[in-house]
Amino acid sequence: MSTSEHGKHTPSVTMRDVAKAAGVSVATVSHVVNDKAGARIGAEARRRVQEAVAALGYRQNALAKTLSQGTSRFIGLVADAIATTPFAGQIIHGAQDEAWKHGYVLLVANTDGNTAVENDAIAMMLEHQVHGILYSTWYHREIVVPEALHQTDAVLVDCFADGSGLRSVVPDEEQGGRTATEELLAAGHRRIAFINTTTPSPAQSGRLAGYRSALTAAGVGFDESLVFPSEPAQEGGYAATSRVLASGATAVFCHNDRVAMGLYDGLREHGRRIPEDIAVMGFDNQDVIAAHLRPPLSTVALPHYELGAAGVRVLLGIEEPPAPSLQLRVACPPIQRESI
Amino acid sequence: MSTSEHGKHTPSVTMRDVAKAAGVSVATVSHVVNDKAGARIGAEARRRVQEAVAALGYRQNALAKTLSQGTSRFIGLVADAIATTPFAGQIIHGAQDEAWKHGYVLLVANTDGNTAVENDAIAMMLEHQVHGILYSTWYHREIVVPEALHQTDAVLVDCFADGSGLRSVVPDEEQGGRTATEELLAAGHRRIAFINTTTPSPAQSGRLAGYRSALTAAGVGFDESLVFPSEPAQEGGYAATSRVLASGATAVFCHNDRVAMGLYDGLREHGRRIPEDIAVMGFDNQDVIAAHLRPPLSTVALPHYELGAAGVRVLLGIEEPPAPSLQLRVACPPIQRESI
DNA sequence: CTGAAAGCGCTAACAG
DNA sequence: CTGTTAGCGCTTTCAG
């Protein structure tokens, strides 16, 4: 260790240093390090520059570059809850991968849903000259757009705000509900119960609509008495067990994996085997749960990674949500395991 | 909508614009917007500047500022898996909150454990003049440090590399194991089984050491035959059930919550009630699982949020890991629920 | 083919 | 108290 403390702090080799070492001008260096198209640089000069770069360990200063070009390579991601759920992480992951792919870098901020923090976060991103902002929530819902968001290009991820004029990317709840139901139908079930959440949300109405449409399309018909309300957690699924059993259903589509997990418990207590006696379908594909229940739970995945990735694509103008909703709906694919 | 497309793209009001509008120089503007200590600015001038700022909607350009000051406000976080687990998100969250608190901004990158990506990520961060880098893994382990990391200030989070000279922040596995065991001891148990993982890791040895020391300290003594090997997932806990039962233990400390979840299943099949017939203690406090098992699982929490936060504190020199290990161990607190 | 020079938006002495 | 003036590291015409 030559330096004191831990700081290997930037001896900062600049372009000028490289230029001097290579015996050329900074303009030339700039051209070779950026592989400028229109710039015809002599083989000899180019070689000398490259050698100098290697020798000195030169690295561009992305900030200076941004300043001089006037265009930044940052994309901001403000989330209401990075951590409350395993899901949020996937959104970050998808956004980061996609941003990276296009040469952008992600600036993240967590706000815990606090409006003041939210505004600060957005302000900070604006000061950093972000190209745009991804505003995401950890579960699909309608939001009221923070005022500050309008000062830049923004796209909503896993949330939406009708009439705001903002583009958004959300999971296709209806298609998801339909898919889940179709899986059960395909296994031969005709009497399919649906334990739905009592919380009003796009998930509640969308999944129900999907369930209904799949049933109808299969000529089975929708039976109101087969849908059971429940809080969207283990406790709710457990509590719904006897009613579901009493309905004579041979399969049950649960609003989410946690409900399914509770139902598993209830079913077991009633001595029912899954899937022999009754099939169970979840929703969300919450890994820690779904993949490890016994039997592993068949479910439908919430495409969080894709939401994040699609968010940056929309922001960069690579993809365009259809008018008039300006919502890009991304599919929720079925995950087959052993509960059907 | 006045502008075409979605771009409210930076009309960019600069300091010069403000200066002109306020009839002062840019230096004056700089002083008032930064509330410079030593700068005595007349009340009148200050007011005019503030008005101009408000009127024009001026916002600092953080990048230009950085460039001129030579010191950036970025902290990089490179993670091997942002999303694979609910945990990683908490590290980001903690790091982000703490960084923010000190006026820093988090730049995140996910590498999926891919070395090439890792180096690119680090290079990118260096180009952005980060103040330093937090290198984190999603489970506590020893790593080999990417070469590039040595080119800046770095601290390891949830991992370590003895002899690398790098400071790290890790969970205190031993204290965690001790705490878990003590909870069981406090409930009056004397014959306490331990289902440990078969995977060598700081968690494996640390939790065992803690279990052992708690037992010894309580005068109960360590009994090798009470520790059962298991893969660290539901399946392992389930499989260990009969052996555990045969041992006559009245309580069992599981290597993690997932193992506990599997054990719950096994115990139920054997007709044992928790905690009446046998007490169960987990580890990790994996929310989706622990809080919603029936009965809710008592466990010990892995302090991911704190790891992230402490990581930035160490990076900023606010906290200093003790030599010679250079490891800052953060406590794993017990979470009491109803399985004991 | 290559170099000089003018900025990008802001800060920091240093003069007045 | 406030304005001038150099840069920070890089890009980008525009000459040569």
Q: CATH number for the domain including A159?
A: 3.40.50.2300
Residue B42 beta carbon within 7 A of nucleic strand D: yes
Please indicate, yes or no, if residue B340 is contained in any of the structural domains.
Answer: no
Residues A179 and A292 grouped into a single domain: yes
Whether B38 is covered by a domain: the verdict is yes
**Hey, which bits of B185-339 come out as E strands?**
192-197, 227-230, 251-254, 279-281, 299-300, 327-330, 334-335
Q: Are residues A182 and A285 in the same domain?
A: yes
- By the 8 A CB rule, do B228 and B254 touch? no
Residue B152: which of A8, A63, A150 has the nearest Cβ?
A8
Residue B336 lies in a domain: no
What digits encode the pLDDT tens for the residues B275-285?
Answer: 999 999 999 99
Q: Do residues B302 and B260 touch, judged by C-beta distance below 8 A?
A: no
Tokens of A128: 């950093």
Query: Is position B66 within any domain?
Result: no
- Alpha carbons A4 and B164: distance in angstroms, whole number: 16
A159 and A280 assigned to the same domain: no
Residue B69 lies in a domain: no
B67 closest CB neighbour out of A8, A9, A64 = A64
| B98 lies in some domain | yes
Cis peptide before A333 (omega within 30 of 0): no
> Do the Cβ atoms of B151 and A8 come within 8 Å?
yes
Buried b (16+ CB within 10 A) or exposed e, A90-114: bbbbbbbbbbbeeebbbbbbbbeee
User: Are A200 and A276 in a shared domain?
Assistant: yes
B40 CB closer than 7 A to any strand D atom: yes
Q: Which of A292, A307, A315, A326 to mutate to test the interface with B (most CBs of B within 10 A)?
A: A292
Question: Domain with A44 in it: what CATH number?
Answer: 1.10.260.40
Task: Tokens for A192, please give them.
Answer: 């399919």
Query: Within 7 A of a protein CB, which nucleotides of strand D?
Result: 1-5, 7-13
Instruction: Please give the tally of structural domains in chain A.
Output: 3
Task: State whether residue B207 is helix, strand or coil.
Answer: helix
Q: Indicate whether B201 and B257 sit together in one domain.
A: yes
Judge if B200 and B151 occupy the same domain.
no
By C-alpha to C1' distance, D13 is nearest to A27
Among A11, A37, A60, the domain boundary falls at A60
Q: DSSP letter at A153?
A: -
Question: Considering the domain boundaries, does residue A295 fall inside one?
Answer: yes
**List of residues 6+ apart from A146 with CB closer than 8 A:** A115, A118, A119, A122, A135
**Looking at the structure, do residues B274 and B179 belong to the same domain, yes or no?**
yes
CA distance B109 to chain A (A): 7
For residue B271, give the chain A residue with the closest CA. Answer: A269
Residue nearest to nucleotide D3 (CA to C1'): B25
A272: tokens are 């029912």
Last-in-domain residue among A12, A27, A60: A60
Mention every residue, 6+ apart, whose C-beta is less than 8 A from residue A328. A167, A168, A169, A170, A310, A314, A319, A321, A322
Position B1 pLDDT exceeds 80: no
A67 nearest nt, CA–C1'? C8
A309 and A290 in a common domain:
no
Of A6, A64, A85, the CB nearest to B153: A6
The tokens for B263 are 């054990």
Q: pLDDT-derived band of residue B7, with 50, 70 and 90 as boundaries?
A: very low
**pLDDT average, residue stretch B101-109:** 92
Residue B194 domain-assigned? yes
What is the domain range of residue B282? 173-302
Burial class of residue B28 (count of CB atoms within 10 Å of its CB; 0-12, 13-18, 19+): buried
Rounded Cα gap, residues B131 and B104, in angstroms: 9
Is the Cβ atom of B67 within 7 Å of strand D at any atom?
yes
Q: What is the dihedral of CA A28, A29, A33, A34, to 10 degrees?
A: -50
Same domain (yes/no): A254, A199:
yes
> Is B196 in the same domain as B224?
yes
Per-residue pLDDT of chain A (340 residues; tens, 9 = 90+): 333 345 455 568 899 999 999 999 898 999 899 887 666 778 888 899 999 999 999 999 999 999 898 888 999 999 988 766 777 788 998 999 999 999 999 999 999 889 999 999 999 999 999 999 999 998 999 999 998 999 999 999 999 999 999 999 999 999 999 999 999 999 999 999 999 999 999 999 999 999 999 999 999 999 999 999 999 999 999 999 999 999 999 999 999 999 999 999 999 999 999 999 999 999 999 877 898 788 999 999 999 999 999 999 999 999 999 989 999 999 999 999 999 9
Token representation of residue B322: 């003790």
Pair B111, B168: CB distance under 8 Å = no
> Do residue B258 and residue B287 come from a single domain?
yes
Q: Pull the structure tokens for residue A235.
A: 């406790």
Whether nucleic acid strand D comes within 7 Å of the CB of B276, the answer is: no
What sign has the CA pseudo-torsion A290, B268, A278, A230?
negative
Residues B176 and B207 sit within 8 Å (Cβ to Cβ): yes
- Residue A303 with chain B: CB contacts under 8 Å: none
Q: How many angstroms is C1' of D1 away from CA of B51? A: 19
DSSP B2-47: -SSSS--------HHHHHHHHTS-HHHHHHHHTT-SS----HHHHH
Q: Is the C-beta of residue A40 closer than 7 Å to nucleic acid chain C? A: yes
B178 lies in the same domain as B294: yes
CB of B72 within 7 Å of some strand C atom: no
